[in-house]
A and B are shown apart, each in its own frame.
Chain A
């Protein structure tokens, strides 16, 4: 997977147990057009505390333009921002 590390606009929902579920997100690609990706499946959620900064790491899978792609989203708890970290 290639590292992108782009902040994205995200629609997500939080359940009663405090878990976050990303639904779909939007970001600006290289040619400045907006790309919207629907999160089909969250494979794994891990917690990261690198440099004392708590982040939730979501390993996800979606069908993008007919191809099944893996990507990684990160949720930065300190500032509530979503990052598209890596994508195939």
Chain B
């Protein structure tokens, strides 16, 4: 019997694009400046985007190609960057500009396919599987997208093309800027296996030295290594990186990039060393204000509170505590934070403090308990009212009295006016 209309052939391979803006913060700042009449393109000189150079909050967030030649690295202090290049131009970051540029790029990409995953502020995955009738020539499509973004928005991107997200992401990281690269299965050996193992996605600061100790220095060596040894040393992560080294990855392009939020936190590095408990308490309170507001905004409650401390010798330690019941109340989080701090602080000078809440659950149902503070409802109503005022009139419209004339910000941690869509480090 003839089976008509039934596709009996092999499943077609996916076609995935990874779009990555070249030096995003720098390019976006440059484009914006040129549109407003600036004659110097900061992409063409030794320039960096960095925090306020007048205060101590200054690290390099993005660098130009010329700045890279001076061995300036992303994350280093502006002070040391200036020592490497005295004529370095430093421009402050503008986060609302970056969000706007990212949205403008996304709006263009949406015209090509509805299946888009925004992986970060400057990276997107696009799925063009089964669209051969619309886009016959994949390479031409990639060049059209790349050139259109450059022409209309004024900045360049790299595009990686592959049959899965991992390989597409690796491909876009090859030679920059303004290039299209492919990384299909038959190209893995030539294009990917020769690279240093640290270039592989998900091989970071912790994994790389351990791999070097096993005498694995390239991605190819990792791909051909005994997976059982990797599993013993790295557990499930070993399985993951072996698969990645072999180009094996099959997660879907998730529109909306929806992953369950697991935790949220804020931390701040102070412009001075904290040496007394009351100042530390104030900083922790200001962090809890921000975390509390974000927690309530995300419609979640938390059951685990943790704090992070970095002292002036740059060594870090932390402590966490599980709460008796889930909460989104700032005061409760603050009380727990203070008690964790008292338990763990050794009395030394501190540089960084961080507060984080996790083990989140929806706030649709709030479990009351006989151990609750009898003013719980009042506190929740107060939190809600304060949030509304801050949303309407700004974060500084309502603040705790102790912050007046203290020199400290009443809410610290976090950047940007908009709560940006959740980003995950997993594909």
Contacts and interface: CB of A to CB of B under 8 A. Distances in A.
Interface of A: 3-5, 48-53, 55, 83, 85
A53 B35 contact: yes
A51 B39 contact: no
Contact of A4 (B31, B37, B152): B37
Taking chain B's interface residues, is the majority helix, strand, or loop, or is none over half, making it mixed? helix
Contacts of B102: 52
Interface string B306-349: 00000000000000000000000000000000000000000000
A26 B375 CA distance: 61
B35 A50 contact: yes
A5 B36 contact: yes
Nearest to B154: A50
Interface string B90-110: 000000010011111100000
Contacts of A85: 37
Interface of B: 28, 31-32, 34-39, 97, 100-105, 152-155
B100 A51 contact: yes
A49 B103 CA distance: 12
Nearest to A55: B35
Contacts of B101: 51-52
Contacts of A49: 104, 152-153
Contacts of A52: 100-105, 153
Nearest to B29: A51
A49 B154 CA distance: 8
B37 A51 contact: no
A51 B31 contact: yes
A5 B35 CA distance: 9
A20 to B, nearest CB: 18
B379 to A, nearest CB: 40
A6 to B, nearest CB: 8
26 contacts: A3-B39, A4-B37, A5-B38, A49-B152, A49-B153, A50-B31, A50-B34, A50-B153, A50-B154, A51-B31, A51-B35, A51-B97, A51-B101, A51-B104, A51-B154, A51-B155, A52-B100, A52-B101, A52-B102, A52-B104, A52-B105, A52-B153, A53-B32, A83-B36, A83-B37, A85-B37
Most central of A4, A53, A85 by chain B CB within 10 Å: A53
Contacts of A83: 36-37
Contacts of B35: 48, 50-51, 53, 55
Contacts of A5: 36-38
Nearest to B35: A50
B238 to A, nearest CB: 42
A4 B38 CA distance: 9
Contacts of B154: 50-51
Contacts of A55: 35
A50 B101 CA distance: 8
Contacts of B38: 5
A52 B94 CA distance: 14
B9 to A, nearest CB: 43
Contact of B28 (A3, A4, A48, A51): A51
Contacts of A3: 37, 39
Contacts of A50: 31-32, 34-35, 152-154
Nearest to B99: A52
Contact of B100 (A4, A48, A53): A53
A38 to B, nearest CB: 23
Given A3-B39, A51-B35, 10 more contacts: A5-B36, A5-B38, A49-B104, A49-B152, A50-B152, A50-B153, A50-B154, A52-B100, A52-B103, A55-B35
A38 B170 CA distance: 56
B152 A51 contact: no
B265 to A, nearest CB: 30
